Structure formats: C-alpha cells, structure tokens
C-alpha cells in the first residue's frame, strides 16, 4: 500500500523508509513524542480532508438541502441527474479543452522559454521573474484584470477592434467566444510555473553529457533533441501531471470572468459544482458532482503514475 | 547556446529570433498588468478612448480614495489574519509530524505517512460541501478559524513531505548524542531541529501564505459577513458594486495585488524553491 500511495512526491518519499534503526536510547521519550506530535496533524487531516470526502459520497445518496439530518435516501439518482444534465457534459468538455490547451500550447511554450532563459545573459533573470509573475497573482485578480481586457466597451481588445473601425465584440458574453477567452487567460496565468519547473530541471542537468554530445559532433539542435529533452522527460511527465490535475480543478479563474456562463458555456466541473451544489445548497446533487470529480482525479493520478512514471 | 556572449558576430538569426520571441511573450504578459496599473490613473472617459497609453491627466484621486477607505484596509487585515493563522498552525502541526516521521521509528510509520500524503491528490472541491456542514456543526461558520483550519488541513500533506525530507538530513548521530546526554526528543526538536531548519520553514511558510492569501473557494463557502471577507472575496463584491466603473475597479485591483507583488519580490527565492522542491526530485 505504501508503494501505491498515489501522488508523485508521496511515492518518492514513502519508498525510502526511515533508515533510523531501533537504537533510540529511550523508548519513553519516543512514546511522548508519538503521543504529542502526531495527533494534531492526523486529526486535522482526518477531520477536514478525509472525512468530508467520505461524507460527500454518503450525502450524494440523499436529496438534501443541508439542514437537519439527511433522510431522503435516493440511492444513485443524483448521479443520474448529473449525468443527464447537458451542462455537466459541457463542463467536462471544457475541462478537456483546458487540458488540451495546457498540453498543446502551454507546455511547449514553457519548455521553449526555459531553454532560452536557463542560460545566463543580461536580463534572463528579470524575464524569468516577469514570466513567473502571473502565477503569483491570485486567480481572482487575474480573472478581473482580463475581464477588463475583454470588456466590450472599455477593454483593450475592444479598442484594438475599434481602431480597425469595427464594432467591438463582447467576448465574455457570447457562448461562442467565452471559453476561448478563458483558455487564453489559462495560458497567460500558468505558463510561467511550468517554465520555472523546466528551468530548475535544466540547471540540475549534468552539463558534461551535453558537452560530450557536442564534442562527438552533434549540432546544437541534435544535442537538444537527443540529449537535453530526454534528460528532461521526468520533469515533462511531472509537468503534464500538474497541468492535468490543475486543469481538472480550475475554478477561481472562471468566476470573475464568466461565472461559468453564458448559458453554462464556460463552466468547469468545479464551477458547475459551485453553481448547482453550493449556491443553491443542493447538497446531495453537489456532492455527486464532487464524487465524480474525485473519481476522475484519483483514477487519472493512479493510471498516470502506473503508465508513465513507473521508473521513478 | 552561449551565442549571446559572442556579440562580435555581426548577425545571428537565432539570436534575433530569440530576442523577438522573448519580446512578444514579455508584451503578452506585461500589457494586461500595465494597463491595469495605468487604467487606475485615468478617468472613465479617458479609459474608453485611451486604454493603452499613459494617462493624459493623472487621476491620483482614484487611488487616494481607496487608500483612505477603511474598506480596503479591512480586507487586507482579514486576509492577513487568516493567512497568519493558517501559516502558524501549519508550521507548528506539520513540523511536529514531520519530525516524528523523520526521527522516531515506530510501527505503522510508513503507513501513516502514506495516509497523510494521499492528501496531495484530493480535490478540495469534493470536500467543500461536507466541509461547510462540518464547520457549521462545529460552530465555526463565519469565523477566521472556520477558514484557517481546513486550509491548514489541506496544506499538511505537502508541508509534512517537504519538512520531513529536510529533517532527515539532520544527522541521526546528533540526536543520538543529545539523547545520551539526557536531552529529550522534544528539546532536541525545539533547540536543534527547528533552528537548523529555518530555510525550509521559510519556504513552507511562504508557499502556505501565498496559497492562503489568494484563496477564494473556502472563504466564499465559510464566510457570510462582509466584515470578515478576505480580499479576493471583497474585490468581487467591489467589482459587483462598481460594475462598469473600470477606472475605480482597476485602481482597486492594483492596490490589492500590490502586497502580493511586494511579498513575491521579497520572498521569490523561497517561493520558487518551494514549488520546485515539491516537484523536482533530488
């Protein structure tokens, strides 16, 4: 079980069991530490993370508004209701789109920038910090900044449109363009994070391998393709993992931009959960969405771990 | 690609391509940020005709009105209280657990650690409805603790992992020698482990702080009173009230992200270290 323990770093750490042998001089001392030091973490974690997830599964079997005790047992009906809602499938499709854009645009962009900025030259560090800045900003602030950028009356996009003499569009108010607008913000916000991961990895590479390849006559791009990129595979796999798990849970960014609208066209799974479960306190229905999200995340993590990160 | 240093070469297309590429990305990142900052200095009328350029007349009043409003400071104060609570509790609870996992051998140690680190996987949104009910039943709804405690719980997995890895590098011989000399585990933790671990404590603390400072979903669910709102909630309310007065909203956004940017410039080393330590191994 320890070895199967999901997450990336968790696996890694659980693998190297404590080599501290049973040579501690005082067992009593250890017992005191065990009694005092472990329970707070385990208690908080169990109470506020593990139990609520179990309870979500339990509540999802009820038609319940969150007041009193849940009594109206309806079995799997909430799941059926969720799966019959068109908005759910739209949200799922949107999460898929976010993942696709992250993998097809964001990560290649991040990798290209990392390869450029991992070297030392004047301004490299400043550019790294600049590109990382959007990641530090709160999602809410980012969303609001871009709702200004996209604003049909005052926004930047509108003024570019007007300079061509055209009537500016309201990108966020149209079901055709709202999701596209959100996707651009996703790239703006998160590419710097992946760039930093790649830079950290590049700086940790063994330079002599690259030099050896160059001495053996490899051109720069050959060395890149056959030496550097393969050496980065572990980081790339990790970056893909983060991008997918992050995309599945995207919420804060969507709220200030569109709140999932218009007509549910830009919902993500979590904004769908929020709009249905929390705003209207449909606890059973919302919990069913939560459990579906949980299942997708955990299934993905285990599968990915198994297929792509076996050797790590 | 050390070609940038050989600036004697008259023309290198690769360097030109690289410069253009970097410039385009820099513009992509900078324009929305600069437009926000400068937009706060414009009047609404000017914003409409001149959203990109420097203000023709600098409307300092937009910023002054916000800076002199109690509302702005109340939001920052609430955020500061919640984030400080979260960071303090996380550091205490996580470092104690990490110390135990690093230095005390006991039956079930690896199982408990795996249990805790499963938390890295769980989407917070799944837990949020039951969490609301639990926090309500505990009587913590609409309190700072009602937000902070779940945040601590969700930050534990990563924090314990990072701290434990660092603690393990403190030689066991040191602990052994101290124990032989009559020092207790707890004293060793307090007087040796913690002082030696300042860099990792700073890293974990900064990451936890940034996450808590920027958090939206948990406060949104747990808080009903405007007076308790942290800034991400407050700014959404503000935007709702001033819906199309973008000059004021932009000034408000600028002033609320300013603390984040200052913190980032001060602590960037810890922030980057924390992200990459969580991700890249070795």
Chain B CB within 8 Å of residue A232 CB: no
Q: Contact B152/B93 with Cβ under 8 angstroms?
A: yes
| Nearest-CB residue to B276 (from A10, A38, A200) | A200
Over residues A109-117, the mean pLDDT reads 95
Average of per-residue pLDDT values in chain A: 88
Inter-chain CB pairs, A–B, below 8 Å: 344
Residues A258 and A3: their CA atoms lie apart, in Å, by 42
Over residues A203-211, the mean pLDDT reads 85
Q: DSSP letter at B238?
A: H
CB contact under 8 A, A48 and B131: yes
In chain B (282 residues long), the average pLDDT of successive 10-residue segments reads 51 86 96 95 91 91 94 97 98 97 90 90 90 94 96 95 92 86 88 93 93 95 95 96 92 95 88 70 36
Cα–Cα distances in Å, from B226 out to A208, B72, B220, B223, B230? Answer: 59, 12, 11, 8, 9
Q: Contact A198/A131 with Cβ under 8 angstroms?
A: no
Predicted local distance difference test score (pLDDT) of residue A311: 56
Over residues A189-194, the mean pLDDT reads 96
Predicted local distance difference test score (pLDDT) of residue B281: 41
CB contact under 8 A, B130 and A59: yes
Chain A CB within 8 Å of residue B116 CB: yes
- Nearest residue of chain A to residue B103 (CA atoms): A20
Q: How far is A58 from chain B (nearest CA, A)?
A: 10
What backbone phi and psi angles, to 5 degrees, belong to A73?
-70, 125
CB contact under 8 A, B35 and A148: yes
- Nearest residue of chain B to residue A247 (CA atoms): B123
| Nearest-CB residue to A116 (from B22, B36, B47) | B22
Q: DSSP letter at A48?
A: I
Alpha carbon of residue A155 to chain centroid = 28
Q: Contact A285/A277 with Cβ under 8 angstroms?
A: yes
Cα–Cα distances in Å, from B94 out to A5, A40, A134, B205? Answer: 19, 9, 28, 11
Structure-token pair, residue B228: 């308790």
- Report which of A247, A217, A213 is spatially closest to residue A93, judged by C-alpha positions: A247
CB contact under 8 A, A41 and B275: no
Over residues A226-230, the mean pLDDT reads 91
* pLDDT over 70 at A15, yes or no: no
Residues B254 and B59: their CA atoms lie apart, in Å, by 14
pLDDT band for A211, please (50, 70, 90 cuts). confident
Predicted local distance difference test score (pLDDT) of residue B122: 87
Over residues A15-42, the mean pLDDT reads 69
- Nearest residue of chain A to residue B172 (CA atoms): A20
Asked which of A100-109, A227-236, B2-11 is least confident by mean pLDDT, the reply is B2-11
| Nearest-CB residue to A252 (from B93, B122, B217) | B217
- Top pLDDT among A172 and A261 is at A172
* pLDDT over 50 at A10, yes or no: no
pLDDT band for A28, please (50, 70, 90 cuts). low
| Nearest-CB residue to A154 (from B5, B47, B256) | B47
> Could you tell me where the DSSP H helices lie in chain B?
13-39, 44-49, 60-67, 70-103, 109-117, 124-137, 144-168, 172-180, 185-188, 194-196, 198-214, 217-222, 231-241, 246-279
* pLDDT over 50 at A21, yes or no: no
CB contact under 8 A, B126 and A22: no
Sign, CA dihedral A280-A284-A288-A290, equals positive
Over residues A190-206, the mean pLDDT reads 92
Q: What is the percent of chain A where pLDDT is above 70?
A: 90
Residues of B with Cβ-Cβ distance to A33 under 8 angstroms: 99-100, 104, 185-186, 189
Count, in order, helices (H) and strands (E) of chain A: 17, 0
Residues of A with Cβ-Cβ distance to B192 under 8 angstroms: none
pLDDT in tens, A45-83: 999 999 999 999 999 999 998 888 888 889 899 999 999
* pLDDT over 80 at A144, yes or no: yes
| Nearest-CB residue to B131 (from A52, A121, A269) | A52
Predicted local distance difference test score (pLDDT) of residue A67: 83
* pLDDT over 70 at A215, yes or no: yes
Predicted local distance difference test score (pLDDT) of residue A165: 86
Residues of A with Cβ-Cβ distance to B275 under 8 angstroms: 193, 196-197
Residues of B with Cβ-Cβ distance to A130 under 8 angstroms: 26, 29-30
- Top pLDDT among B70 and A12 is at B70
Which of A18-27, A130-139, B1-10 reaches the highest mean pLDDT? A130-139
Q: What is the percent of chain A where pLDDT is above 90?
A: 65
Cα angle, residue A245 at apex, residues A242 and A247 outer, rounded to 5°? 100
Residue whose entry in the numeric block shows the structure tokens 């306190």 = A281
Q: State the pTM of this model.
A: 0.90
CB contact under 8 A, B186 and A293: no
Q: How far is B115 from chain A (nearest CA, A)?
A: 8
Cα angle, residue A106 at apex, residues A104 and A108 outer, rounded to 5°? 70
Q: How far is B276 from chain A (nearest CA, A)?
A: 6
Residues B150 and B134: their CA atoms lie apart, in Å, by 10
Other Cβ atoms less than 10 A from the Cβ of B207: the count is 24
* pLDDT over 70 at A292, yes or no: yes
CB contact under 8 A, A278 and B129: yes
Picking from A116, A121, A136 by the largest number of B CB atoms within 10 A of its own CB, the best residue to mutate is A136
Residues B33 and B47: their CA atoms lie apart, in Å, by 15
Predicted local distance difference test score (pLDDT) of residue B279: 56
CB contact under 8 A, B172 and A112: no
Chain B CB within 8 Å of residue A108 CB: no
Predicted local distance difference test score (pLDDT) of residue B278: 62
Its ipTM equals 0.91
């Amino acid at each position: 079980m320890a070895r199967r323990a999901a997450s990336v770093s968790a696996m890694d750490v659980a693998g190297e069991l404590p080599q501290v042998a049973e040579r501690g001089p005082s067992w009593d001392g250890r017992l005191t530490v065990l009694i005092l030091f472990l329970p707070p973490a385990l208690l908080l974690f169990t109470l506020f993370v593990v139990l609520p997830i179990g309870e979500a599964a339990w509540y999802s079997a009820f038609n319940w508004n969150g007041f009193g005790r849940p009594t109206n047992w309806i079995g799997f009906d909430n799941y059926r209701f969720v799966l019959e809602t068109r908005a759910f499938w739209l949200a799922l499709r949107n999460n898929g789109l976010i993942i696709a854009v992250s993998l097809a645009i964001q990560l290649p962009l991040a990798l290209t920038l990392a390869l450029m900025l991992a070297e030392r030259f004047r301004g490299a560090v400043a550019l790294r910090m600049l590109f990382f800045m959007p990641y530090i900003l709160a999602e809410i602030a980012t969303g609001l900044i871009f709702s200004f950028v996209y604003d049909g009356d005052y926004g930047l996009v509108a003024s570019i449109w007007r300079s061509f003499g055209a009537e500016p569009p309201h990108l966020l108010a149209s079901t055709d363009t709202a999701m596209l607008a959100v996707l651009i913000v996703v790239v703006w916000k998160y590419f710097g994070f992946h760039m930093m991961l790649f830079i950290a990895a590049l700086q940790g590479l063994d330079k002599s391998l690259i030099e050896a390849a160059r001495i053996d006559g490899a051109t720069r791009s050959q060395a890149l393709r056959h030496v550097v990129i393969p050496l980065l595979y572990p980081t790339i796999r990790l970056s893909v993992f983060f991008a997918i798990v992050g995309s599945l849970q995207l919420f804060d960014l969507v709220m200030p931009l569109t709140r999932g609208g218009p007509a549910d066209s830009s919902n993500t799974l979590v904004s769908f959960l929020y709009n249905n479960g929390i705003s209207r306190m449909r606890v059973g229905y919302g919990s069913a969405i939560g459990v579906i999200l949980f299942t997708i995340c955990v299934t993905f993590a285990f599968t990915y771990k198994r297929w792509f990160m076996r050797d790590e | 690609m050390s070609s940038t240093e050989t600036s004697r070469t008259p023309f290198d297309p690769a360097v030109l391509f690289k410069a253009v590429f970097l410039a385009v990305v820099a513009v992509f990142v900078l324009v929305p940020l600069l437009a926000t900052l400068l937009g706060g200095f414009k009047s609404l009328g000017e914003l409409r005709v001149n959203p990109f350029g420097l203000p023709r007349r600098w409307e300092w009043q937009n910023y002054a009105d916000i800076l002199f409003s109690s509302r702005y400071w109340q939001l920052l104060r609430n955020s500061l209280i919640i984030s400080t609570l979260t960071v303090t509790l996380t550091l205490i609870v996580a470092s104690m657990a990490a110390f135990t996992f690093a230095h005390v051998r006991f039956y079930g140690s690896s199982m408990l650690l795996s249990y805790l680190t499963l938390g890295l996987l769980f989407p917070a949104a799944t837990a949020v409805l039951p969490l609301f009910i639990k926090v309500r039943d505990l009587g913590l709804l609409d309190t700072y603790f009602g937000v902070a405690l779940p945040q601590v719980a969700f930050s534990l997995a990563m924090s314990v992992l990072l701290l434990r890895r660092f603690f393990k590098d403190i030689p066991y011989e040191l602990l052994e020698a101290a124990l032989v000399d009559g020092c207790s585990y707890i004293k060793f933790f307090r007087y040796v482990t913690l002082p030696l671990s300042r860099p990792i404590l700073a890293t974990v603390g900064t990451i936890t702080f940034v996450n808590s400072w920027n958090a939206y979903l948990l406060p949104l669910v747990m808080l009903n009173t405007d007076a308790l709102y942290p800034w991400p909630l407050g700014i959404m309310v503000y935007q709702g009230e001033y819906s199309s007065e973008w000059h004021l909203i932009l000034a408000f956004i600028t002033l609320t992200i300013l603390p984040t940017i200052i913190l980032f410039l001060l602590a960037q080393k810890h922030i980057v270290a924390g992200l990459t330590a969580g991700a890249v191994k070795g």
